[in-house]
Amino acid sequence: MRRWPLLRNRDYMLFWSGAALSELGSQISSVAYPLLILTLTGSAAKAGVVGLAKWLPLAIFAIPAGALADRVDRKRLMITSDAVRMLGAASIVVALWLGRPSFFQVVVVAFLDGGLFMTSHICERGALPQLVATEQVQDAVAQNEARYFGASIIGPPLGGVLFAASRALPFLADTVSFLCSMATTALTRPRFQTAKDRVTSVRAGLTEGFSWLRRQPFFRTTSMLFAGANPVYTGLYLLAILLAKHHGASSAAVGAMFAIVGAGGVLGAFAAAPARRRLSARLVIAGEEWLLLLCVLLLLIARSALVIGLLVAAAEFSTPIGNSLVAGSRVAATPDRLQGRVAAVSATVGMSLAWLGPLGVGFAFQRAGPTTTILIVVGWTLALAIAASLAPALCSGPPVPALTEQGWRQGVSSGT
């Protein structure tokens, strides 16, 4: 593939722009989900259940999504996923206009949205090598991280303002964003894979994905570390909302708080490329966990939405650096026909405990209060930071050069 600068790559930028609009809509509604449940029920525990419904399917859907992503047209699968997510968001709009949505409906929509997000995410990661040159994959992943955090700057405060004006407006914005994403994905010219895989069974194909990951110590270790870190991050967002409301913040202030969080992530995305060049993999991954620990610990003395937002923003600064290092290296190293399944296996491991964060934070906050909840998260994060610092597989870093499919097959046949 001819190497174009990412910003001049027509198809990548078209694809990126549609995903950015979809992410903006999702960020708008992300702050609206807990605010809606807290408004309707006043229950932090029920807000945690909605968080569970949002994050649990990321692990459940990853394996079937990865198999599908390698067996069917990835572009069509992404468009279909966006269409179903659009209908889910629209159903909440209609329910709010007609009266009051049930708690069950919100949980179901959140569950479908989380699962189909994972489907699109796996397809996107698998499509990157078809949209950009191999040596640009890490930078493309970092730019995708910037897209996410850029939407995090605009979306939550806009969601807070829209929610204050009308409870239906954030979900209406999400509905429109999915429609835009479907259009831009359809207009992207390249195929999203070199060829559809015709493995004899889903199980056999996924076994290859597990085997590939198992023989890569760096990716295997980082997947397990991400499994431990993700419940902290998913719980941290709900914890920030609950703390801000506990200290008297308005819905608009909560949205502004997450704009600050998004700014931290954007700065991290811009810092990702130079950080990858200058820092070792161990320092990037372990440093991320120690920074997260410090920020969570300081929440004990935070008393305003502004301070809470600054602390969570600091924690998020290192996220795109680590994500672009690990995900970009993995995408570049994975044979195209295994892209979906390797991404699915990595996501299944990495997101396996993500649901625990919002559920645990919601129930702990309601039963034990903010201080005990923060200390529980601190203890978990401390164990994670120590594990990352002592992991021997992080010393060597990701495999360089990327392992070819022929080399991987030789490794499998020789048992290495």
pLDDT tens-digit profile of 294-313? 999 999 999 999 999 999 99
Task: For residue 274, count other CB atoms closer than 10 A to its CB.
Answer: 10
Alpha carbon 184 to its chain's center: 21
The CATH number given to whatever domain includes residue 126 is 1.20.1250.20
- Classify each residue of 205-237 as buried b or exposed e, where b means 16 or more C-beta atoms within 10 Å of its C-beta: bbebbbebbeebebbbbbbbbbbbbbbbbbbbb
Three-state DSSP class for residue 191: coil
Residues of the chain scoring pLDDT < 70: 1-5, 7, 190-206, 400-416
383 inside domain = yes
pTM: 0.73
Question: What are the tens digits of pLDDT across the range 243-292?
Answer: 998 999 887 888 888 888 888 888 888 888 888 888 888 999 999 999 99
Q: What is the pLDDT of residue 409?
A: 36
Radius of gyration of the chain (CA): 20
Give backbone dihedrals phi and psi of 228, rounded to 5 degrees, phi first. Answer: -75, -30
Q: What is the pLDDT of residue 204?
A: 65
Structure tokens at 202: 């889903």
Q: What is the pLDDT of residue 360?
A: 92
Q: What is the pLDDT of residue 82?
A: 94
- Find tokens 């605010």 and name the residue: 35
Three-state DSSP class for residue 246: helix
Quote the strand ranges of 102-201, DSSP E.
Answer: none
Q: What is the rounded (10 degree) CA torsion for 380, 386, 388, 390? A: -150
113 inside domain = yes
2 inside domain = no
Q: What is the tally of structural domains in the chain?
A: 1
Q: What is the pLDDT of residue 351?
A: 83
Domain encompassing residue 112? 7-414
